[in-house]
Structure 1
Amino acid sequence: MPITDILEKNAKLYGNDVALVELNPQELEKRHVTWREYSLIEPSRNDSFRTELTWEEFDRKANRMANLLLTRHIHRGSKVAILLMNCLEWLPIYFGILKCGATAVPLNFRYTADEIRYCLDLADVDVLVFGLEFVGRIEDICDRIPRVKTLLYVGEECPSFAEPYYNLASYCSSKSPAIPLTDDDDAAIYFSSGTTGFPKAILHTHRSLMHACRVEQNHHRQTREDTFLCIPPLYHTGAKMHWFGSLLVGGRAVLLRGTRPEWILSAVSEEHCTVVWLLVPWAQDILDAIERGDIKLEEFHLDQWRLMHIGAQPVPPSLIKRWKTIFPHHDYDTNYGLSESIGPGAVHLGIENIDHVGAIGVAGYGWQTKIVDENHRPVPRGTVGELAVKGDGVMKCYYKDEKATREVLEDGWLFTGDMAQESEDGFIYLVDRKKDVIITGGENLYPVQIEDFLRRHPAVKDVAVIGLPDPRLGEIAAAIVEIKEGATLTEEELASFCLDLPRYQRPRKIFFAPVPRNPTGKIEKPRLRKMYGADHLVAMQNEISG
């Protein structure tokens, strides 16, 4: 069953119900109006701050996009890229691409012009749909992407090198093109995060997308009465696949453009959100704002909020302990996955397993897991090895990269590159990325374990541990520590705190600085190794020569 069938079903059964709401809090600031004042004056008006779309309108927009693409001879096998910030048009455009039989290619909004060109070339893109924020970048490369025959601009005042999406789509039929699709048809190409170099193109089928729908709804038990707050970028599998649970049951979703703690809580309060997926930094910011007194919970309507879940990165147990202290009635779940496994859900904790916080959980609905050695043989419980997953959500391949595909796919198993271990009671604990392991004096150091320890310090907001070269030990652990607003912390104080760590795990270098994360919340460790590794290598060489 192709995923487009779900949208058409929702349009028939719940056509007049709201499917999507877009919120732009910056617009209220421009008007000097508070969120509460707006909700009292204009509770459901469509304007520059708040817009909404019913299921019927959603489906009609998708059909117009599909029919527009068909006029440009886009069909099964064609690739259509989306380069938009989160907005109300994003998902109808995505589904329109699927409805005409083409493959959707979402692009990271942080890509530079050259990275955009690289991805367009790698994925053999025929059409690019882009928004206002990307005009300059696309103009820079528009004469260097000869395969891309059509540039569609979503916005007002279309640039001369593109065509106006709104105008063209308005003349197209809102009826379904009724293109026959199967589970095995290609559906989407997602790009790896790119934190290890140029991103790979990850090809998924309609079977993968449908699997994501079923997994998400099974794990988080969405009903039509739930409202899902979506904050992360829609180009990434994490945000969209969590929304797929709402899609499956015809539930409402709210797209919030912004991550300030007061905006998140206001959106939950005013839109009556029940399910919220957060990244670790956003959850930390909310808790810090509450604890500082910047946010007063009694000013918000939050009783309906039933589930907070986190994914995309290891979650410090101390964070969840703090969260449950402030929000004791919340169910909690953590989700593990990769873009290669259609995002979250390959492993999940489960809302019934709050006593196992710290674990990423057990095999998700419809998934199998195993932990293996370097020869792909299962290791005993308690032994660190590489995590592998198997299920209908595993990618078809790395597009146009047979060698890379063979390195990670074997007999339907996806070898994740993540090091993990399984406890005696069957829960999986993520240890670290295989490539991030630090080997110091023959000992394996797993940065995540050290990071979890350092985050327990009350003055630490965020931390990243990386390996730096050392002439005697090979590598040493270095900690980049971001301090909470208003807090103080010295290197000596942190070193004293680390005395509770085994000696070989204690960071040999400490840097106080912001911890950079990509839009999906992952620490940009290659960037940190480049920033701090070069200076450290020069200092080490000077010490040796001196």
Structure 2
Amino acid sequence: MIETLGDILRNNAHKFPDEVAYVYGDRRVTFRDVHERANLLASALYEKGLRQQDRVSILSQNTLEFMEAFGACELAGFIAATVNFRLAPPELIYILTDSTPRVLIFEAQYAETVEKIKGSLPHIETYVCFGGTAPEWALDYETLLATGNAAGAPIRPLPDDIMHLIYTSGTTGRPKGVMRSHRGDIAIAQLMATELGLIVSDRLQLMMPVFHVGARFLQLGMHLRGGSVVLHHDFKPAEILDAIVREKVTMTHMAPTMVQAVLNLPQIEEVDLSALHTICYSAAPMPVPLLRRGLKLLGPVFLQLYGMTEGGGTTLHKRQHKPDGSPEDIKRLGSIGQAAPNVDVKIVDDEGRELPVGQPGEILTRTASHMVGYWNNSAATIAALRDGWYHTGDLGYLDDQGFLYLVDRKKDMIISGGENIYSREVEEALATHPAIQDVAVIGVKDEYWGEAVRAVSVLGDGLTVSESELIEYCKTQIASYKKPKSIVFVDELPRLPSGKINKVVLRQLYGAPGVKGN
């Protein structure tokens, strides 16, 4: 009986002990190996004083140790509080202060960053380093594992215990910790297995960061079915293609920009990709020219998933990708698909009244895979989950067959290269520069990134700062990938009678590629 994520580990170790759970470079790790090492880590952390629902933070790119840390939490009932490795030190401090982990497990490449911020994190009792020499103030990961008991920790989670605490930015610019339970994540694993048609013989390739839900959810779905995961530390197009061929990957997961980078490789038409039957993409619709090119080369392999850290899910299936079909078929390529089984979707107005087909409003979803709520934020939880529905904050409409179309985002979210960037967060970072009097951030279409961040700025009287200087400054306040790609300087920003910035007019004036201000 699969009631918690730990049951998936135990089930696979019992049924498929010698089958490959992970391929990581030249390493092959069996389900028995994964279970044994996760048990050792769970036991070692228990001996350090951790108990059920204590937080374990993980700062790392995709590594086997990351997956072992997940496994320890799955088995013992600790909460895995993931951290985006791209974040700037002030952002890291905020998240690690809000989640109050007792342990931080980090990859050695981040040791210098962790050392700089550890003085602001008195609640962290134990630092654990892997992938290099541990600094004197941290434990070596393998040394810690050696202290564990092969039987694991003497505790187990309950189905409604929190498993994941994953931070996602909100409209105020302050990240919110999304609490996800074992029960909810088993539901999402089942949804992944159903929508992607996962079977035990599949080999799933993952290069998107596992601190995000996308790659993590797919990994859970694959291991629920007992299949193998080909895990990459990061995204290098040539290595991704080589692995698809070498490991006979059947399914891969990429943002559209990654698909483009792989299809641009000169050897793409010469290699054998016959084993690959599905390319799952997310974060944004696939540009039609890229889709046509991919379908011509690879056949009907593309499938789109839409969801968020909080839950929900729609799918645009492989057979629904028809770039040369009817006008309706082509239009639906711009949709985010139809509701997955056991997912309800409706569109409502500001009063919560359901809207008819074709009329845009807020997208609401209802499913067993929803989050439990936001960590330390009951007001946001109540607002998001009222009336039994998750209020996404996204605006969209349904057509007569239930295809869902995004038309805008209440949260002013920008999707650039598969990463969610919130305009308010970038605005607040830029506003701290002494030369900035007023600023607003919008997304502009970009051929490669899908969307790029553009800031429209008003300088204070007599003050000057260049575009490049402001972009560099922004990198000191927030993660580099969130910084503006371009900055337009203007005399004033358009405003509504209420005094709020009119972003509709702002996008009309400055939302086209190449637009310049004063």
TM-score by length of 1: 0.75
Count of residue pairs the alignment pairs up: 442
Cα distance between partner residues in 2 of 1:527 and 1:377: 38
Question: Does the 8 Å CA contact 1:99/1:178 hold for their aligned counterparts?
Answer: no
Question: Does the 8 Å CA contact 1:238/1:312 hold for their aligned counterparts?
Answer: no
Residues 496-511 of structure 1 mapped to structure 2, 5 A cutoff:
none
| Percent of aligned positions that are identical | 27
Cα distance between partner residues in 2 of 1:387 and 1:539: 29
Question: Does the 8 Å CA contact 2:269/2:297 hold for their aligned counterparts?
Answer: no
Structure 1 residue 19 corresponds to structure 2 residue 17: no
- Please give the secondary structure, in 2, of the residue aligned with 1:192: strand
Change (3 A) 1:161 1:220: same
Residues 226-265 of structure 1 mapped to structure 2, 5 A cutoff:
226-265=202-241
Question: Does the 8 Å CA contact 1:69/1:97 hold for their aligned counterparts?
Answer: no
Cα distance between partner residues in 2 of 1:234 and 1:539: 39
Partner residue, 1:339 = 309
Question: Does the 8 Å CA contact 1:231/1:259 hold for their aligned counterparts?
Answer: yes
What is the Cα deviation at residue 481 of structure 1?
A: 4.2
Deviations 1:108-134 (A, max 9, x none): 011222222211111121111111111
Partner residue, 1:532 = 487
Question: Does the 8 Å CA contact 1:65/1:97 hold for their aligned counterparts?
Answer: no
Cα distance between partner residues in 2 of 1:59 and 1:85: 21
Question: Does the 8 Å CA contact 2:171/2:412 hold for their aligned counterparts?
Answer: no
Partner residue, 2:74 = 98
* Residue of 188, 197, 210 corresponding to 2:173: 197
What is the Cα deviation at residue 302 of structure 1?
A: 0.8
Cα distance between partner residues in 2 of 1:270 and 1:15: 23
Change (3 A) 1:480 1:413: closer
Cα distance between partner residues in 2 of 1:87 and 1:476: 34
Change (3 A) 1:429 1:483: closer
What is the Cα deviation at residue 164 of structure 1?
A: 1.4
Structure 1 residue 146 corresponds to structure 2 residue 122: yes
Cα distance between partner residues in 1 of 2:398 and 2:356: 8
What is the Cα deviation at residue 187 of structure 1?
A: 1.0
Cα distance between partner residues in 2 of 1:427 and 1:124: 41
Cα distance between partner residues in 2 of 1:58 and 1:483: 38
Structure 1 residue 297 corresponds to structure 2 residue 251: no
Can you give the 5+ residue segments of structure 2 that lack an aligned partner in the other structure? 323-331, 428-439, 450-466, 473-478, 495-517
Change (3 A) 1:399 1:331: same
Change (3 A) 1:422 1:193: same
Partner residue, 1:370 = 346
Deviations 1:219-256 (A, max 9, x none): 11111111000010111101110111211111011112
- Please give the secondary structure, in 2, of the residue aligned with 1:200: strand
Cα distance between partner residues in 2 of 1:194 and 1:262: 35
Change (3 A) 1:526 1:222: closer
* Residue of 281, 284, 295 corresponding to 1:310: 281
- Please give the secondary structure, in 2, of the residue aligned with 1:313: coil
Cα distance between partner residues in 2 of 1:191 and 1:234: 13
- Please give the secondary structure, in 1, of the residue aligned with 2:395: strand
Specify the code of the residue in structure 2 equivalent to 1:339.
T
Question: Does the 8 Å CA contact 2:208/2:234 hold for their aligned counterparts?
Answer: no
Residues 404-419 of structure 1 mapped to structure 2, 5 A cutoff:
404-419=380-395
Cα distance between partner residues in 1 of 2:370 and 2:288: 29
What is the Cα deviation at residue 478 of structure 1?
A: 7.9
What is the Cα deviation at residue 71 of structure 1?
A: 0.2
**RMSD, matched Cα:** 3.2
Question: Does the 8 Å CA contact 2:108/2:131 hold for their aligned counterparts?
Answer: yes
Deviations 1:382-407 (A, max 9, x none): 01111111111111111001122222
Change (3 A) 1:288 1:175: same
Which sits farther off after the overlay, 190-199 or 233-242?
190-199
Cα distance between partner residues in 1 of 2:480 and 2:352: 28
Cα distance between partner residues in 1 of 2:84 and 2:203: 26
Question: Does the 8 Å CA contact 1:335/1:348 hold for their aligned counterparts?
Answer: yes
Can you give the 5+ residue segments of structure 1 that lack an aligned partner in the other structure? 24-49, 438-446, 452-463, 470-474, 485-510, 517-522, 541-545
Change (3 A) 1:178 1:537: farther
